[in-house]
Structure 1
Amino acid sequence: MELRPYQRAAADAVEAEWASGRRRTLIVLPTGTGKTVVFAEVIKRVVDTGGRALVLAHRGELLEQAADKIQKTTGLAASVEKADLTSVGTFEAVTVGSVQTLCRPKRLAALGANRFDLIVVDEAHHALTQSYRAVLDYFSHARVLGVTATPDRGDRRDMSEVFDSLAFEYTLPTAIREGYLCPLEAQTLPVKIDMTSVSSRAGDYAAEEVGTALDPYLPEIARMMIEAGCRDRKTVVFLPLIATSKKFQAMLIAAGLDAREVNGQSPDRAEILAAYDAAGKGTVLCNSMLLTEGWDCPSVDCVVVLRPTKVRALYAQMVGRGTRLAPGKESLLILDFIWLTERLDLCRPAHLVAQDAAVATRMTEILEKAGAPEDITEVEVVAQEDVIAQREEALATKLAEQRRKKAKLVDPLQFEMSIAAEDLSGYIPQFAWEMAPASDQQIKALESYGVFGEQECAGKASLLLDRLAKRRAEGLATPKQIRLLERYGFRRVGTWSSTGASSMITRIASNGWRLPHGVSAAEWKPKDMEGGDES
C-alpha cells in the first residue's frame, strides 16, 4: 500500500524519536486517517531488521482490525495472545495481544521478557492503566509506540507518565483541508436540556443522572432530528444508558424513522451492525456508548451526541464515527443541543477544531445564532478573527497604560500579538518538561532578544526562542523595535524588516522623538515592503 504523505512522515518521525533516545513515543492521528496503516509500516521496518513486534489493545475488535490491516498492507501474518490462544511456539514476527490476557504474570513469563523489540499500544490513551503498565514494564527493553486519535484524558492524567514524547500529530482541520476526511457541519438545535442537577463522577457527568435529565426532552429531540433532515441522512445517536437508547429507538420508530438499537448485551450485535452498514439514508442507529471505538461505518453522515461530556477525547471519538469519506457523502452533520449546565467545560462541536478556549466559546455563540448547518472550519476562521480583534482591543488598552512606563523588556504577549503568532498565544503544554518553568538559560536567552520570559513555561520559552532566532535570520524587526514603533501608532511592525524599522526610529530620534512631518503612522510602510512609503 502506498502511504499518504502524512502517514510516511509519521513513521519517519517515530524512528527519529527512537534514534534520539526517546524510546516511548506517541503519534496522534484523527479517526479515519489510517493510524493502523502507520503502525503497520513501523512494524514492517522493525521486522525487516530482524525484530519482533506486539500490538497491544483492550478490545477484540481492535486486535482483529490490526491483524487484518497488517496482513493487507505488509503481508505479515500475526499470531494471537488472547484467552486460550497463544503465540508461544509460533514463528510469526508479529503478535496481536489482549491486554487483559497479557497482564497476567504467568502469561508474561511464558513469553519471556526479551521476546519483543517493539510494542504498539493501540488507543494509547488507555495506556496509563495498571494492566498496560504491567505489560510495558515487563518488556522494559522494547521500544514503545502509542497511537491514538485522542491523547487527552477525562481524568486529566498526563500521558507523559508513560510516553517520553509526541513524535507526530496530524490535526482534524488539516485532514479535512487536505481531503482525507469529510467536511464537518454543525447545527445547534433549540432544545434546551437542563443539566444543572447532574453531578460529576470520575471527571465526567454521571451517566445514570444524564439519562434521568434527558428523558423529558426525548420526544422534542426526535421531532427536531426529523426537522433537521435525518430522513435524508444516515445517523448514529449516542445515549447515556441502554434503557434510554431503547426508549429513544421506540420514539424514532413511532415518528416514522427506520431506527435500530445495539448495546453490549445484544446477542445479535454483529448482525445489527452489518445490517445498518448495508442500509441507506433515513436509517438511525441508537447505542449506549458502545460504538466509540473499534467500529467503522464510513457512510454515516449525521452524528447526534445525547451523552453530554466534559471529555474532549470521548466527544471526538463519538463524532469520529462519521468523519470518514464515502461515495456520495458530502459532509458530516453534527446535531448539537443546548445543554444548560453551571459548568463551562462541556464539549461542543467547536472543541473538535479550536485549540483556543476563547475561539471555541465564540464559535459556539456563532453556531447557536445560525439556526442552520454551518461548516465548522469556516466558523473557526470567523471566530478567530473576532477573538483576535477583541485581544487587539484589550492589548491596545494595555499598551496605552504602559506608554507611561519605561519597561526594559518586551512582554511576550505583546510580541506574539504584534507578529500575529496565534500558535504561540494559543500554546498549551502537553508533556512534563514543557510544563516546567523556563530555565535560567532560556530566560537569559529571551532577555538577549529583549523579551521578558520569567513567567513562561519551558515549552513556550523554547518556541519563543525558535521564533526569535528565525526572525533574526530573516532580518525582521526586533521585539524592542516593534514595541517602540507601536507606541507611535505604527501598525503591523512585526512584518517590517529590521532595517526598515531602524530607519524610521532614526528619523523619529532626529526629529526630537516626535513623528516626522508628513508621516501617517497608521498607514506608513518602509520602502522595502510592497507599497512602502519611505523615500
Structure 2
Amino acid sequence: MTDEKKLIVNSKRGNLLNELTKSIVECKSFYFSVAFINFSGLQLLLDSFKEADQKGIKGKVITSTYLNFTESKALKKITEFNNIDLKVFVTDKEIGFHTKAYIFEYEDHYKVIIGSSNITQSALKSNIEWNVEIISKEEATFIKDVIKEYEHLWSISVEANDEFIQNYEAFLSRLINPEMTQHQLIYENSTYITPNRMQKRAMENLERIRSFDEKKALVIAATGTGKTYMSAFDVKNYNPKRVLFIVHREEILKKAKETFEHLISNSGISFGLLTGNEKDGNADYVFATIQSMSRRYEDFRRDEFDYVIIDEAHHATSPSYQLVLDYFEPAFTLGMTATPERSDHNNVFELFDNNVALEVRLHDALEDELVIPFHYFGITDIEDIDLSDVDIDDIAEITKRLKVNERVDFIIEQMNFYGHDGQKRKCLGFCASVDHATYMSDEFNKRGYKSVCLSGNDTVERRQSFMKRLEDDADELEFIFTVDIFNEGVDIPSVNQVLMLRPTNSPIVFIQQLGRGLRKHNSKTFLTVLDFIGNHSKTFLIAIALNGSRYYDKESLKVAIATGFANIPGATHIQMDKISQERILEQIDQENFNSMKYLKEEYFEFKKLNQGYTPYFLVDYLKFDGAPDPVKFIDREKTHLQFVAKVEKDKELKGLLEDDLFEGALKELSGKLPIKRVYEFVIAKYLLTHERINIKEAKHEILKHVKEVDEDSILHAFECWNQNYYDSVQKKGKLKLFELHDEVLYKTDAFQTVLNKPEYHKYIEDTITYGMFRYEKEFKNDYYGVPHFKVFEQYQMIDAALLSNYRKIHTAFRGSGLLANGNEYFLFIDLQKEEDIKESINYKDKFIDQNFFQWQTPNSTKQDSDRGRNIILNQERGINLHLFVRKYREIDGKVEPYIYIGKGNTVEYKGDKPITVKFELETEVPANVYTEFVKKV
C-alpha cells in the first residue's frame, strides 16, 4: 500500500466535518490534538462520538488553554463520553499550542489529517482551511513519528477532570467581561463602519432606481439583517437636508435614531424624536411614531422632508399610514419590511410603485452572514407517538397524542445531550396548541426546568414580561412554550435553542419559527434546533423548508436529504437521523408534487397562513419565505385564476373568466411565466398606461431593471408580442395584446377593452408585476447578452429560441437534441435514458467531472459533414456550443426543465455516426449542482 494523499477544504463539494464524522465511526480508535475546542464545533461531532461509544471505539483528545479560546463547556461535554479520554495542554507565556491533527487507527493502516482546522463550527464547515489527509501503513516512518509526537504531548498534558474544568471555568469567569474572552476581542475602529454585502447591494439598487426618476422603493430583509444601518448608509450617500423616519413601535425608534447618530456624526445634522412624550419635530432628521405623526402631519409643509423612511412597511397600507404618506411629497420614500404581508388585504408592493430594491430571504441571509448559523438535528420521535392516521388539521387529536410523559423525558434527554450555545439556555418550544404548550410547560416545571406557556390569549404586557425574564441571564426562566405568537414580529435576540414539538404542516411556519432564534447576539454564535420527527404523512415538508428553494422537484429534494443539505451556506449544519431520513425519502417517493390533490393541499395550507384570505393575486405568494410556487398552479389550469376558481368553486371568479377577452389576455401573460428575460414584461407594464412604445422608450424603461440591453433584442421582444413566432396552436385561446408597425408597438383595441374594466385590470397588472419580481429575484439586474442565458438556471427547449432572438416559429425548437440558430448550437441532453429506448441509440452522455462532459451526437452526424466539422472544430469555426442537461426527461408525469451548464469546447472526439465528443466546460459545475446530476438516491 503506497501512501495516499488528498487535500480537504471546506466547500460545497465537502468539508472537514464530513471526513471526521465518517472516520470516527469507521476506525478502530482515534486520537485528536487541537489547539481550540468550541462547543459550536463539538456539537457537530456529538452523534459520531455517541455512535463510536456504542461500537466500542476508543478515543483520546488533547486540546489547550492557548488564548483562552477553548470553552469549559466543551471540555465538560467531552468528559460525558465513556469512550473518550481528555487531556489539556496548559500553555504559558513562552509556549503556545497550535496543533490541528486528527489521527485514525484502522486494522491495517492509519489515516492522519493535519492542517489548519480546530474544532469550531467555522473551521469544520465554512472557513478557508487547508487540511491534508494521508493514509499509510503503521510501519511507515511518517506514522511512527506522528504517534511518537502524540504520545509525548499526551504525557505532558493535564487530565481534564472535574477539578481542572472547574478551575478553568472560574478563571474564564474572572476575565473583565465573561462574554468577551480574549479570543473574541477584535480591534475595530467604531467610527469607521462599512456596509455589509446586503447593504451594498441595496444601496446600488436604490441608486439605480432613483436614476430613472423613480420616487419609491421597498427593501425586504429578515429581522436582524441590518435594514436600519442600510437606510442610514443610503441617507448618508443621498445627503438630504431633512429626513423623516416613521416606525410602528416606539422601542424601535430610539435604536434607529442612535444608529443614524452613530453613522452620520460630525456633520452638523440635528436628530430629534417625535413621540407621545418628546416633541422635537424641528430637528433635521425626525424619528416619529406613526401614532404621533398621524396626529401632527399637518404641522409640516408637504415638501418638508426630502427623504421618508417607513420601517415595518407592511403596516403602511393601514389608514393612519395612508394619511401621512398621501400628505407628504418627498423626493424619495424607502419602505423596509421583514415580510411584505398584506395588511387589511392591501398590497404593500403597489404602495412602493412595485420597485423592490432588494429581497433577502433565509438562505440569502445565511450566505451573507446577516444571521447566525443554525445546527438542526432531526430526531425520530418515540415509538409511542403514532400520527400516521391523523388529519394534520385535527389539532385536538394531535395534541392528545403528543401529551405523553415519556415523550417529555425523551425531549429533555435529547436537549441535554445536544446542549446549546451560551451560558444560560434560552429556549422557545413550538407546540401544536395552547393545551399542548400548557402541558409542556407544566411537565418541564415538574422536572425542575423553569418554563412558562405564552399564547395569543395573553396580554402584551404579560408576554413582554416573560420575554424579558428569558433574556435575563440572572433569571431562572429557560423555556417559553408557545403555539404561533413568535412566528413573526416578536423578537428575542438571545434565543439559543428552538424545539419543534409539533408535526410540520407548512414550510412557511417552519422557516418563521426557525428564524426566531437566528438574530445575532453577543451571547451566542449559533442556534440549536431540535426537531422531533414523527410518522405523520406530511413529514417531508421539513425537507422542503430546509432545502430553501421554492422551485424544487422530487429528485432535487432527495439529493438534498442524502447529502445533508450540502447547498446550505456557511457553518449551518443540518443532520437527520437514519430513520427520519428514510421516512422522508419514502414519503417523497410516494408523493406526486404535480397531482391536483397535492396542489390543492399546498394551496389551502397557504390560504390558511394568508389570514384565511383567498390568494387571488400572484404577488401574494411573494410574501412568505417557503410559499408555494404559483406557476405550478398555472401549469395545471392555464391561469392562476382558473386554478383558484376551480379549487374554491368560486362562481364570481368563474363569471369573470367567462369573458373571452379577459381570459385570453390572462392566458397570454400567464403562459410566459416564469419569464427568462424581463424585456417583454417591462414593455407590457409601460403599455398598461401608454398607447404605444418605440425602441428608444423601451430601452429607457428596460434599463431601470437591467444594466444593459441591445436594441435587436428589444425589437425581437416587440416581434414576440406581435405573435410573429407563434404557431397556430399557440395562438388559440390567447388574446393578441400588442401590434407592431414600423418598429413601434401599439396596444390593441381588444386589450384596451380588458384594461378599461378595473376588475380585470388588477389581475393583468398583478401577473406582470409577479413576473418582473420573480425575474429580478432569480436574475438580478445583470445583462446576459445574446443568447440571454444564465449559467445553472432552468430552461425549456423553446426558451432557447426566444433567448437567442430566433426569427422563425419558436416551437421548431423541440424534438431533437441538437438545435441551431446561426453559430449558436444548443445541445439538449438527458442523462438518464428512458428504459424503452433501444440500446442502439442509447447515447453515452455523462459528466466526466466538474470540468469535462462527454456527449454523443445524433446517430446521423458524420465527422466530414458541415455540422460534424462545426462540432469537432467549434472554436476554430466560431461555433458556440451551449449545453443544457437534465437528469430525467420527466418526473411524476411532468416534463422536467434543463439546466444550462454553460458553453463547452471540443477537446477530443472519436467515432462516426455518432461522434463521441469530449467537451471542456467554460464554467466549472458547482459541487451541489454536479452532485444533483450524478448522485443516485
What's the TM-score bracket when you normalise by the shorter of the two chains? 0.5 to 0.7
Deviation at 1:163, TM superposition (A): 1.4
Q: Pick closer, same or farther for the CA change 1:186–1:133 going to 2, 3 Å.
A: farther
Match of 1:515 among 857, 860, 870: 860
Conservation of the 8 A alpha-carbon contact between 1:350 and 1:363:
no
Counterpart residue type for residue 372 of structure 2 = C
Inter-partner Cα distance in structure 2 for 1:141 and 1:449? 44
Q: Deviations over 1:135-154 (max 9, x none)?
A: 21122445321112222448
When residues 435 and 66 of structure 1 are mapped into structure 2, their CA distance, relative to the original with a 3 A threshold, is farther
Could you tell which deviates more after superposition, 119-128 or 455-464? 455-464
1:470 to 2:785 alignment: yes
Partner residue in 2 for 1:72: 262
Residue of 301, 307, 324 corresponding to 1:118: 307
What SS is found at the alignment partner of 1:252? helix
Q: Highest Rg: 1 or 2?
A: 2
Question: Which amino acid in 1 is paired with 2:321?
Answer: Y
With over 3 angstroms needed to count, the CA separation of the structure-2 counterparts of 1:125 and 1:279, relative to structure 1, is farther
Q: 2:231 aligns with which of 27, 34, 39?
A: 39
2:823 is aligned to: 499
Count of residues in correspondence between the two structures: 462
CA distance in 2, matches of 1:485, 1:305: 51
CA gap 1:72/1:284 in 2 versus in 1, 3 angstroms = farther
Equivalent residue number for residue 796 of structure 2: none
**Contact persistence 1:24–1:163 (CA under 8 A):** yes
Match of 1:251 in 2: 443
Find the counterpart in structure 2 of residue 302 from structure 1.
Answer: 498
Match in the other structure for 2:287: 96
Q: 2:219 aligns with which of 27, 32, 38?
A: 27
- 1:295-374 to structure 2, matched below 5 A, reads 295-298=491-494, 300-302=496-498, 304=500, 312=508, 316-325=511-520, 329-333=525-529, 335=531, 350-351=544-545, 354-356=548-550, 358-359=552-553
Matches of residues 36-435 of structure 1 in structure 2 within 5 Å? 36-46=228-238, 48-50=239-241, 52-75=242-265, 78-88=271-281, 90=282, 92-104=283-295, 107-141=296-330, 143-153=332-342, 157-164=346-353, 165-184=355-374, 185=376, 187=378, 190=381, 192=387, 194=390, 214=399, 217-219=402-404, 222-223=408-409, 225-229=411-415, 232-233=419-420, 234=425, 235-238=427-430, 245-260=437-452, 264-266=459-461, 269=464, 272-273=467-468, 275-276=470-471, 278=473, 283-287=478-482, 289-291=484-486, 292-293=488-489, 295-298=491-494, 300-302=496-498, 304=500, 312=508, 316-325=511-520, 329-333=525-529, 335=531, 350-351=544-545, 354-356=548-550, 358-359=552-553, 377=568, 424=676, 433=685
Residue type of the partner of 1:470?
G
Q: CA deviation at 1:356?
A: 2.8
Secondary structure, aligned partner of 2:251: helix
Q: Aligned-pair distance for 1:176?
A: 1.8
Report if aligned partners of 1:55, 1:122 keep a CA contact under 8 Å in 2: yes
**What is the CA distance between 1:131 and its match in structure 2?**
2.3
Aligned CA distance change for structure 1 residues 136 and 347 (closer, same or farther; 3 Å): farther
After superposition, the Cα gap between the structure-2 partners of 1:177 and 1:215, relative to the gap in structure 1 and judged at 3 Å, is same
Q: Is the 8 A contact 1:449 1:478 kept in 2?
A: no
**Once the two structures are superposed, what CA deviation does each residue of 1:370-425 show, in whole Å capped at 9, x if it has no partner?**
8x98667388xx99xx99xx99xxxxxxxxxxxxxxxxxxx999999xxxxx9849
Cα distance in 2 between the residues matched to 1:339 and 1:124: 40
| Cα distance in 1 for residues equivalent to 2:363 and 2:687 | 26
Partner residue, 1:406: none
Give the drift of 1:357. Answer: 5.3
Deviations 1:418-466 (A, max 9, x none): xxxx9849xxx99x95998xx9984624789957887795464896999
Conserved 8 A contact 2:220-2:337: yes
The letter for the 1-side match of 2:378 is Q
Which region of structure 1 is more displaced relative to structure 2, 18-27 or 234-243? Answer: 234-243
Alignment-derived partner of residue 170 in structure 2 = none
Distance 1:366 1:281 in 2: 43
Q: Which ranges in structure 2 are unaligned for 5 or more consecutive residues?
A: 1-192, 575-580, 594-667, 694-714, 735-763, 792-799, 828-857, 875-904, 910-914, 918-937
- Separation in 1 of the partners of 2:302 and 2:431? 42
Deviates more, 1:329-338 or 1:448-457: 448-457
The aligned amino acid for 1:17 is: I
- Equivalents in 2 of 1:132, 1:212: separation in Å? 43
Give the AA of the match of 2:544: A
Aligned partner letter, 1:487: G
Preserved contact between residue 432 and residue 483 of structure 2 (Cα < 8 Å): yes
Instruction: Find the aligned partners of 2:669 and 2:294 in 1 and give their Cα distance.
Output: 48
**Alpha-carbon shift at residue 244 of structure 1 (Å):** 5.8
**By how many angstroms is 1:215 displaced?**
5.8
The alpha carbon displacement at 1:7 in A equals 0.6
Local SS of the residue matching 2:339: coil
TM-superposition CA deviations, 1:3-49 (whole Å, max 9, x none): 11321221232233233232221012233321111112233345x33
Could you say which residue in structure 2 is the equivalent of 1:405?
Answer: none
* Preserved CA contact (<8 Å) 1:500 1:526: no
2:496 is paired with a residue of what secondary structure? coil
* Residues 177 and 9 of structure 1, relative CA distance in 2, 3 Å threshold: closer
**How big is each residue's C-alpha offset from its partner over 1:323-377, in whole Å with a ceiling of 9 and x where there is no partner?**
2456763455262666979xx9x98573476443544x7788889x88x986673
The 2-side partners of 1:373 and 1:228 are apart by: 20
1:339, 1:126 → 2: CA distance?
39
How many angstroms apart in 2 are the aligned matches of 1:163 and 1:26? 6
Answer yes or no: is the 8 Å Cα contact 1:187–1:373 preserved in 2. no
> What SS class does the counterpart of residue 322 from structure 1 fall into?
coil
Distance 1:154 1:348 in 2: 28
Q: Over the residues paired in the alignment, what is the CA RMSD in angstroms?
A: 5.6
- Residue deviations 1:153-194 (CA, integer Å, cap 9, x gap): 487643233111101223432332344433443637556395
Report SS of the residue matched to 1:229: helix
1:197-243 Cα deviation digits (max 9, x unpaired)? 56xxxxxxxxxxx5896465244764553354366134223458777
Matching residue's letter, 1:377: I
1:289 deviates by: 4.8
Whole-angstrom distance in 2 between the partners of 1:304 and 1:273: 22
Relative distance call for 1:264 and 1:65 in structure 2 (3 A) is farther
Structure with the larger helix share = 1
